[in-house]
Amino acid sequence: MLQIGKAVVSLDVIQKEFCCDIVKCKGACCVAGDSGAPVTTEEAQLIELLYPQFEGYLSDENKEEIVRQGFSVIDSDGDLVTPIVGNNECVYTFVDERGITKCAIERAYLEKKTTFRKPVSCHLFPIRITSYKRFDAVNYQQLDICQPGRICGKSQALPLYKYLQEPLIRAYGPEWYDELTYAAENLTEDQLR
Ligand code: SF4
């Protein structure tokens, strides 16, 4: 583990290789699990505010589910998350012509209709941040659905923390990320044990 500021970062984040291969995995992380994506209160409010910019990408079923459940819900663990629908996919998703599940919030961002890309928890996946009173645990959640991402990362020799530079900076800022990079490039034998 490495501690940078309040974040305790697992060595997997530094040492494992990763790069999403969405053509192969079909965007499975937007569907997997029995709960939606964690969102902050501010993100939930932003999603509601920006809804008119991305609702056009959503199916009628998803739109009806948003009317029924609201823009965010509390899950069984007590966390604020996006609602899910159908086969457990996030309610803010759509399936494109290649059968890939994609994020409507991100689609609107990529089409320059908004400046909010998507919730930071989605942007960071498969890194998961769990916040405790005194520290954050920053871990790599290794799921079977991400096997194409592991193969792609290995072929490019791309460490997970480098692949997810942008969302890590979003979460902790550029100086924190520079410290992480320095620590990753100068791991001691003790840290590697
Ligand atoms: S995080 Fe995993 S499931 Fe999601 S797009 Fe990347 S490889 Fe696919």
Distance of alpha carbon 38 from the chain centroid: 9
Ligand 1 interacting residues, C-beta cut-off 6 A: 20-22, 25, 27-29, 125-126, 145-146, 148-149
137 and 82 in one domain?
no
- Ligand 1 centroid vs 180 CA: distance in angstroms? 23
Q: Which of 63, 89, 121 is a domain's end point?
A: 121
Work out the mean pLDDT of the chain and round it to a whole number: 95
Distance 183 CA to ligand 1 centre (A): 26
Please give the residue range of the domain that contains residue 44.
26-121
Residues 8-32 pLDDT 10s: 999 999 999 999 999 999 999 999 8
pLDDT recorded at residue 193: 67
Average pLDDT over residues 157-178: 98
Rg of the Cα atoms in the chain: 17
Number of structural domains in the chain: 2
Give the pLDDT confidence score for residue 33 in this predicted structure: 82
Residue-wise over 32-60: b if at least 16 C-beta within 10 A, else e? bbebbbbbeeebbebbeebbebbeebbee
| Nearest ligand 1 atom, CA 28 | 3
User: Which ligand 1 atom is the nearest neighbour of the CA of 126?
Assistant: 1
Burial 162-188 (b: 16+ CB within 10 A, else e): bbbeebbeebbeeebbebbbebbeeee
Please state the rounded mean pLDDT for residues 167-182: 98
Q: Are residues 12 and 52 in the same domain?
A: no
Residues 96 and 67 reside in one and the same domain: yes
Q: Which atom of ligand 1 is nearest to the CA of 25?
A: 8
Q: What is the pLDDT of residues 31-77, one digit of tens each?
A: 988 899 999 999 999 999 999 999 999 999 999 999 999 999 999 99
